[in-house]
Structure 1
Amino acid sequence: MADTVRLTSLYWPPYTGENLAEQGASVAVARAAFAAMGHQLEVEFYPWNRAVSLAKNNERYAGYFPAYYFRTNKLLFSDTMGSGMLGFVEQKDDPIKWRALTDLVPYKIGVVNGYRNTIEFDDMIQSGQLSAVSVLTDKQNVLKVADDRLDVAVIDENVLKFLKLHDENVSKVKDKVQMNKKPLVNKHLYIAFNRGEQGEKWLDIFNQGLTKIDVDKIMATYMSLHFETD
């Protein structure tokens, strides 16, 4: 019997977004995996911190996505449902060179409130070793870098590409910013299910569904079909 699973998400194009084609590449993957097991997916979109909070505290939802993995005893992470290259957006006229994270000490770095990056990077921000400014969206960070209010900002490479192509404000400054040549890390994406009977049920269903689909093909097809046309 077909059931409906409800998850929360955020506007994080091209991966997720209520008004994106198929609601985004990651939603397309998740929907295909659940459909392969005979179930339907409903996604509700909120600002990131609210999406996480609602998913954890409201029994209506089985979890949230797309999430980066982190150690916790409160959530169950699915098998990987794709990945994205995480790095830094910088000014084209003033690129930075770095090898180790300690090389970033002189710079003012933009981060998004609630986003997890890498353990070492986040720990260095938490301890005050790195100077970070927190905002609510990737878009705000890109505009701040373009306006020379930040030296660099953490961002997924595909998110920056999307914003430069499709966001009215970012497209105006697209020639001022670029991805730094050195990636921070290739981050895998997951669904974070709530720990408990329902979460375990949907985790098992989703992971089985992933084995029945070609995640990389769905992601690649989505990007080629929709990346420059929506």
Structure 2
Amino acid sequence: MIPLNLHADEKETVVRLTSGHWPPYMEYNPPHFGVISRIVTLAFAKQDTPVTYGFFPWSRALMLAEKGLWDGSVAWTCRPEMIRSFFFSDPIVAHHYVLFHRTSMDFDWGRVVDLESYRIGLTQDYNYGETFEEAVAAGTINAEKTTSDIANFRKLAAGRIDLFPMEPAVGIKMLRELGLEDKITFHSTPLQSDYLYLILSRRVPDNERYLKEFNNGLSELRESGRLESLIDSSLPDLPVRYLVVEDEGSTCGE
């Protein structure tokens, strides 16, 4: 586990959230621990509620929150099977996956069926959208899973896979750090479009109250324009079309 970021005296009641290292959205580097962590902290601060983060592998982050050992986790897409275990907040930011490929490869696609002839790298515990996931389960998509986004980008650069779905802002940052930004690019058509949410465990008695506090604080950030400003300034390389989802009224329902 990465050491926690304590934002308050330990005698105070603190909302304890698990997370994973997925910059620029969530990261274990201070002072803000990624743009989504910063938004979550600011939204709770509107209600004078402090927050602390613990960073884990994603599967462990979800398990600790689901069991109520931690209060919740940031940030996740809406999955129907998770609603039984978690309260989902109002949507925080738009989220997309696009298909990264080698710049030397002539690639175009429009439907999932178009991807059947490619070797596709996936990362364990990620959700790539219902249609794509069903094709993987049916075996019509040739998919190879690893536990690491970095490993998938290296496999892509080496020609061991043809495509890798990844969130564009995360992918751009990772490729720069790996020195692969000239070798790998991405197709503009999203594989999946959704939102990212704060999730709070249904096993923690105070979490319905914390959910209301967070949603109220998030609404204040949105109405003041601070939310949009934070997202725009933190994701300067992300094309505008990826800052929204077509159905702006979408939420993760009960």
Same fold (TM over 0.5): yes
* Alignment partner, residue 186 of structure 2: 179
Partners of 1:64 and 1:80 in 2: how far apart? 14
Runs of 4+ in structure 1 displaced over 2 angstroms? 196-199, 221-224
Offset at 1:21? 4.8
Partners of 1:56 and 1:85 in 2: how far apart? 24
Between Structure 1 and Structure 2, the one with more helix by share is: 1
**Contact (CA 8 Å) 2:24, 2:234: kept in 1 or not?**
no
Partners of 1:163 and 1:95 in 2: how far apart? 22
Partners of 1:144 and 1:119 in 2: how far apart? 25
**Contact (CA 8 Å) 1:14, 1:20: kept in 2 or not?**
no
Deviations 1:140-185 (A, max 9, x none): 11111111011001100000111123x2xx21x2211001132213
* Alignment partner, residue 251 of structure 2: none
Offset at 1:202? 1.6
Q: Determine helix, strand or coil for the equivalent of 2:221.
A: coil
* Alignment partner, residue 75 of structure 2: 66
Letter in 1 for 2:36: S
TM-aligned CA distance change 1:116 to 1:20, over 3 Å:
farther
Q: Determine helix, strand or coil for the equivalent of 2:140.
A: coil
Question: 1:115 aligned to 95, 106, 126, which one?
Answer: 126
Q: Determine helix, strand or coil for the equivalent of 2:233.
A: helix
Offset at 1:201? 2.0
Counting aligned pairs with the same residue, the percent is 25
Question: 2:39 aligned to 29, 45, 52, which one?
Answer: 29
* Alignment partner, residue 99 of structure 1: 110
Deviations 1:83-109 (A, max 9, x none): 233111101000321111011001111
Partners of 1:181 and 1:83 in 2: how far apart? 15
- The alignment's TM-score, normalised by the length of structure 1, stands at 0.90
**Contact (CA 8 Å) 2:169, 2:235: kept in 1 or not?**
no
Aligned length, in residue pairs: 219
Question: 1:87 aligned to 72, 91, 98, which one?
Answer: 98
| Consecutive unaligned residues in structure 2, runs of 5 or more | 1-11, 237-254
Partners of 1:9 and 1:87 in 2: how far apart? 22
Q: How does 1:108-187 map to 2 (within 5 A)?
A: 108-165=119-176, 167=177, 170-171=178-179, 173-187=180-194
Q: How does 1:24-63 map to 2 (within 5 A)?
A: 24-59=34-69, 61-63=70-72
Offset at 1:199? 2.4
State the superposition RMSD in angstroms.
1.7
| Consecutive unaligned residues in structure 1, runs of 5 or more | 225-230
Partners of 1:194 and 1:95 in 2: how far apart? 45
**Contact (CA 8 Å) 2:24, 2:173: kept in 1 or not?**
yes
Question: 1:203 aligned to 198, 211, 230, which one?
Answer: 211
Deviations 1:159-218 (A, max 9, x none): 0111123x2xx21x2211001132213321101111142322221111111111032222
Deviations 1:23-50 (A, max 9, x none): 0011011011001111111010011111
